[in-house]
Amino acid sequence: MGTFYEGIQKILRGELSQPGAARLVGFQLVSAKPGEAVVELVAGPQHYNPLGTMHGGILCDIADAAMGIAYGCGLGEGEAFTTLELKINFLRPVWNGKLRAVGRVVKQGVTIGLVECDVLDEKEKLVARANSTCMTLRGKPAQGRSFS
């Protein structure tokens, strides 16, 4: 079956395709290890809201992906997780350019964990900051997608 981390490493090596949400939104997982993950996105007009700036939901997507992967990489065999809560602060508008979402686990408890993410632009300016609460699932609730 393998762990979440092992599956993510297969994605990074190109042995498995990027998840559907990544392909849909256009982000790319660039690195992952237990406790930290980096996702990048080249922002453009396809991500605009009606005001002509990047839609906040897209920023939330890349932050959520980075945080979830950072948390998931710390799970053991037969464990999965779900996000219980997610909050994001938008700090500056984005139009175009490469964004980098860096997710970091603050606390990975036995059942509940806290994760944070900084979304940075090409000049390393903070565009958004997010945090989420994740719950580790075991047994039947953990059954779902397998990376094998």
**Domain total for the chain?**
1
What pLDDT shows up at residue 145? 59
Q: 133 has which bridge partners? A: 85, 114
Does residue 36 lie in a domain region?
A: yes
pLDDT > 70? residue 103: yes
pTM: 0.94
Q: Which residues contact 120 (CB under 8 A, 6 or more apart)?
A: 99, 100, 101, 102, 126, 127
Print the domain residue range for 9: 4-142
Mean per-residue pLDDT, 63-74: 98
Q: Residue 32: give its domain's CATH number.
A: 3.10.129.10
The position carrying tokens 């990027």 is: 18
Tens of pLDDT along 22-36?
A: 999 999 999 999 999
pLDDT band at residue 140 under the 50/70/90 scheme: confident
| Dist. CA 7–CA 38, nearest whole Å | 16
**Residue 75 in domain:** yes
Residue 148 resides in a domain = no
In a domain, 51, yes or no: yes
User: From CA 102, how far away is CA 142, in angstroms rounded?
Assistant: 25
